Chain A
């Protein structure tokens, strides 16, 4: 079943966003009066573009940092959720995804604290396996095993290599 993939974010163990890529813009809903949810609340306080409905309530932001801001927000969110999940469900419990009216965020974390966040259309099934595949077949093969790539990817260094980007793009487009 094809699925619309909006974007992917990768965070390293130092909480820095070391890779992000957007494929499809999330569809802006025709009606902006969707029933409010818990995540709606969250959007109003933190969201920028993902919550177009809330945009007018926010002070105008400089657009140039939007990508970086999004990444920070996403990290903050998934990090809190993950910690909360562990607190409630025990250390082995894992936070898998959350959904809003407009998107679904899939989360995957490796034991080395590498974190993947994938945004898709809200109706998507679990993408946990997809993220696991990205980790073992693309990340480990093309980033970790590339001897010229640094161990720490400050500012995304070493991640944006051709093999990884091409492989990722092909893999994601294959899903759509």
Chain B
């Protein structure tokens, strides 16, 4: 599975982007978006924001689970109290890719099935861990609201959370 993680500010502006791949089931943590479709990730996530705004008031939860789907792309969302959105796009490998790079992938639902309850829980844990790092990052006095996050430490933490849960 390939992941595209983006943090969206209160004015629908991107604050942070990170691409990675699954580390479960022997995955190497590399994102494998098809080159010709990679630029679509931003568009897909951006279009999901409308749906997020619809469902965000319905549940009272911060973790909204999988909110949108576009062909083989699934979008999960986590909202902070300050209405910053953590968006995660997951793209399961098309069958040919998975069979060559990940022969055992069928045994792990997290690595392949974006709609399974296990995946939902893994994403929740991933989001919560990032939320914790996020709060610490925006506590930095030099950070201003809706400013792009360039902290290398935060990037490392996101990468670590990705390796740990996805």
Asked if chains A and B are in direct contact (CB within 8 A), the reply is: no
Chain A residues near B (Cβ < 8 Å):
none
